[in-house]
């Protein structure tokens, strides 16, 4: 293998060059060392299913990443296309007998690509606006939420739709506007002056909660359901003021430097808590992988590893610590979609299903290939709309038609699946698992009070 530059040692903590990777933070050779190109990953890959092309398969991408390290390929447009066309859904790692971390390799390769081929023009400006100016700043996100709330409640949204002004946007953005949920007051804003949201009854433990970016702006009702369920089950809930965006979108986009900055801020914000509750699969997966951002910073590596062990999805937390089974019936037929970064990324599959089955009146209907990606993948449905739509169509073909609701644990999936329901003439309601449990508790209280 052609490797130049300084080698790893205790005095020199990282290489400065690896084949044709010329920038710092090189792809980790250990991540591809166990890949024998057996092909067990092929059937699990959504992009390979759509294209049938080797470069759009997991083993093909691993081969390309390794070839650049060996000096056989350049970091150029031809290399960039298959790397950024990956959904980073992690299904290939689940299927791989050797547990090759393809997702981690893809993200490291994207970091190299964005240093070699930075976004320019309107794409660069748009990326900086969202990834640097907007998402890392909760106050700006809250202002955006206020504007969206005004857009919906003032009647402006109806005017824009009726006059078809909305169609000046690309079709996939029109579809996203069409399923935009009702924007409500963010939980960070609602509980800004409240240090702790006390458990109802006896306090059994204290937890800290990530409110998230999109989750707190577009899905504040899910955050509220999360708080309701936690406090109902003996948890004092704190919302640390210093928390910020998890950095998943930044790392997926190849902006690892900003991802590190946000990771450090979150590690510091949650440092004094033993448990960090997350209700967004993508955020939870990213936060559990913070250590990968600090391979060359020993102090932060250790802090990241400690932090990541505290992060737990809401469904897993409830399953492990115990929760009161509701007594009121919801009487509904539900199917469950496994968000990629919850099932493949965090290994959480059984817990949300058992929560749903513990709700009286809920009938669970099996979804074939429930852990198949829906095509959301962060902002993939915006950056790669054609492939995202093809993956979504494949997903919707597996969604049972005779159900009332589709439950899941990730906001990106909820938006994408809502587009699928609208696009393919379905009438299912898209819900977060924790919402169902909260609604059952609420109905139980109403029956008791009535």
Q: Write the DSSP string, 72-139.
A: SS-SSHHHHHHHHH-----HHHHH-TT---HHHHHHHHHHHHHHHS---HHHHHHHHIIIIIITT-HH
CA–CA dist 72, 6 (Å, integer): 20
Residue 282 lies in a domain: no
Alpha helices in 137-236 (DSSP H): 138-153, 156-162, 171-178, 187-190, 214-218, 220-232
Cβ-contact 394, 372 below 8 angstroms = yes
The radius of gyration of the chain from alpha carbons, rounded to an integer in Å, stands at 22
**CATH value at residue 34:** 1.10.1060.10
Mean pLDDT, 10 residues at a time, the chain of 450 residues: 35 64 90 92 96 96 96 95 96 96 96 94 89 90 86 86 80 80 84 89 96 90 97 97 95 96 98 97 97 94 97 98 95 97 97 97 97 93 92 96 96 95 94 97 80
Residue 362 lies in a domain: yes
Q: In the chain, how many domains are there?
A: 2
Any idea how long the chain is?
Answer: 450
Cβ-contact 97, 40 below 8 angstroms = yes
The pTM of the full predicted model, rounded to 2 decimals, is 0.91
Residue 22 lies in a domain: no
The strands making up 205-209's β-sheet, listed across from edge to edge, are 235-238, 205-209, 276-278, 311-313
Last residue of a domain, one of 83, 116, 149: 116
In the Cβ-directed half-sphere of 402, how many Cα atoms lie within 13 Å? 4
Cβ-contact 387, 86 below 8 angstroms = no
Last residue of a domain, one of 77, 96, 116: 116
Question: pLDDT tens across 156-191, in order?
Answer: 888 888 887 777 777 877 887 888 888 888 888 888
Q: Which domain holds residue 357?
A: 322-449
Q: Supply 8's token pair.
A: 């790893």
Last residue of a domain, one of 68, 100, 116: 116
pLDDT at 5: 36
**CATH value at residue 421:** 3.40.50
């Amino acid at each position: 293998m052609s490797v130049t530059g300084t080698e790893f040692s205790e005095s020199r903590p990282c290489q400065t060059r690896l084949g044709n990777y010329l920038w710092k933070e090189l792809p980790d050779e250990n991540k591809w060392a166990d890949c024998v190109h057996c092909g067990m990953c092929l059937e699990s890959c959504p992009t390979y299913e759509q294209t049938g092309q080797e470069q759009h398969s997991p083993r093909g991408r691993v081969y390309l990443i390794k070839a650049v390290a060996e000096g056989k390929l350049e970091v150029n447009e031809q290399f960039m296309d298959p790397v950024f066309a990956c959904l980073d859904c992690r299904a290939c790692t689940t299927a791989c007998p050797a547990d090759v971390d393809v997702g981690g390799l893809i993200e490291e390769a994207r970091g190299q690509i964005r240093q070699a081929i930075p976004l320019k023009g309107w794409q660069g400006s748009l990326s900086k606006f969202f990834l640097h100016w907007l998402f890392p700043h909760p106050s700006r996100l809250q202002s955006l939420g206020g504007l969206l709330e005004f857009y919906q409640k003032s009647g402006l949204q109806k005017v824009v739709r009726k006059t078809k002004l909305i169609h000046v946007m690309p079709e996939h953005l029109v579809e996203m506007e069409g399923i935009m949920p009702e924007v409500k007051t963010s939980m960070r804003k609602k509980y800004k002056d409240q240090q702790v949201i006390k458990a109802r009854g006896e306090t059994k433990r204290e937890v800290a909660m990530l409110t998230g970016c999109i989750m707190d702006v577009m899905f504040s009702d899910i955050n509220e359901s999360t708080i309701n369920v936690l406090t109902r089950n003996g948890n004092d809930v704190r919302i640390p003021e210093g928390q910020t965006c998890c950095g998943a979108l930044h790392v997926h986009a190849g902006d690892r430097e900003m991802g590190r900055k946000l990771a450090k801020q979150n590690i510091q914000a949650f440092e004094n808590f033993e448990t960090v509750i997350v209700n967004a699969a993508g955020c939870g997966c990213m936060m559990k992988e913070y250590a990968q951002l600090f391979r060359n910073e020993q102090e932060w590596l250790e802090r990241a590893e400690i932090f990541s062990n505290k992060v737990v999805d809401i469904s897993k937390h409830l399953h492990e610590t115990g929760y009161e089974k509701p007594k009121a019936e919801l009487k509904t037929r539900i199917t469950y979609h496994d968000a990629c970064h919850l099932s493949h990324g965090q290994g959480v599959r059984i817990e949300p299903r058992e929560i749903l089955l513990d709700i009286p009146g809920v009938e669970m209907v099996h979804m074939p290939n429930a852990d198949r990606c829906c095509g959301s993948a962060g902002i993939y449905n915006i950056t790669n709309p054609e492939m995202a739509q093809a993956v979504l169509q494949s997903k919707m073909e597996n969604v049972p038609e005779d159900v009332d609701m589709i439950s899941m644990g990730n906001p990106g999936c909820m938006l994408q699946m809502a587009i699928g329901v609208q696009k393919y003439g379905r009438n299912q309601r898209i819900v977060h698992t924790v919402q169902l449990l909260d609604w059952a508790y609420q109905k139980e209280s109403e029956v008791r009070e009535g």
